């Protein structure tokens, strides 16, 4: 029930926060007066590192799963789409060909939330599956299975100048944590590819027409001691209303 979920989440967040304490000396912690963002995930036990990373940059976070979807985004300053299982290929006009264990309830929840967030020009950050969901929602397609070359590895990403992401990270190349077996095939109309891996896999997209709509294929919550990933979370927090440094 909800009480058990709250206890589990509290334990997970506390553990994740301890592991990231080295970057918590900025004093920015979530409180009742801070902007609140909605975070979506498939399974509650996976939420801890994401929630800890968002709280470190001064955000209040409410976690939603397919079992407790929000009715709307009223009162939220932003939306974070977390990682997890595969998006059902029916949403981009394909039949399953390598897709694993899609969750229609999660797909439907996040597609609607992303639509609402863009409509209201809320700050949106998509992480791993979140990037893929954003691309599909805007009319793009996915490679349903790229094998194991991006499964639990560290590799460099190339971020050419000229994008919002490049302006945030201030670097054309840095190391990231990669953990996925699907990837963007065709970027959706209106979304720009702003980062790529050495093998050409799309690593980031953004909607330049919105204040902050960015998706990254990697897992910044797993490396919050990285200057670039700290900058990404801080920029999202500022877009959601947290005062700048």
Residues 55-103 pLDDT 10s = 999 999 999 999 999 989 999 999 999 999 999 999 999 999 999 989 9
Q: Active-site residue among 28, 203, 206, 221?
A: 221
Helix axes 129-137, 104-120, angle to 10 degrees: 70
User: Is 94 one of the annotated active-site residues of the chain?
Assistant: no
Check 110, 128, 138, 203 and give the catalytic one.
128
Taking alpha carbons only, the member of 244, 245, 232, 243 closest to residue 54 is 232
Residue 63: per-residue pLDDT: 98
Is residue 181 part of the annotated active site? The answer reads: no
3-class DSSP state of 81: strand
Question: For the sheet containing 192-196, what is the strand order?
Answer: 60-64, 36-40, 78-81, 123-127, 213-216, 202-206, 192-196, 153-158, 173-178
Catalytic residue among 138, 180, 219, 228: 219
219 is catalytic: yes
Under-70 pLDDT residues of the chain? 1-32, 245
For the entire predicted model, the pTM comes to: 0.87
């Amino acid at each position: 029930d909800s009480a058990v979920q709250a206890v589990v989440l509290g334990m997970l967040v506390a553990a994740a926060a301890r592991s990231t304490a080295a970057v918590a000396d900025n004093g920015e912690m979530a409180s009742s007066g801070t902007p609140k963002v909605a975070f979506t995930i498939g399974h509650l036990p996976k939420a801890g590192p994401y929630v800890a990373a968002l709280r470190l940059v001064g955000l209040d976070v409410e976690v939603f799963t397919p079992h407790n979807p929000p009715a709307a985004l009223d009162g939220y300053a932003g939306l974070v789409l977390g990682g997890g299982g595969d998006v059902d290929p029916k949403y981009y006009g394909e039949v399953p060909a390598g897709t694993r264990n899609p969750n229609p309830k999660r797909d439907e929840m996040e597609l609607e939330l992303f639509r609402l967030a863009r409509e209201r020009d809320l700050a949106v950050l998509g992480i791993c599956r979140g990037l893929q969901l954003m691309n599909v929602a805007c009319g793009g397609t996915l490679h349903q299975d790229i094998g194991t070359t991006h499964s639990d590895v560290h590799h460099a990403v190339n971020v050419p100048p000229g994008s919002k992401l490049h302006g945030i990270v201030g670097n054309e190349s840095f190391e990231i944590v990669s953990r996925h077996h699907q990837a963007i095939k065709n970027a959706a109309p209106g979304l720009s590819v702003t980062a790529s891996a050495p093998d050409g896999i799309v690593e980031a997209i953004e909607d330049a027409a919105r204040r902050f709509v960015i998706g990254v294929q990697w897992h910044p919550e797993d490396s919050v001691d990285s200057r670039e990933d700290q900058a990404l979370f801080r920029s999202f927090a500022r877009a959601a209303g947290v005062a700048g440094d």
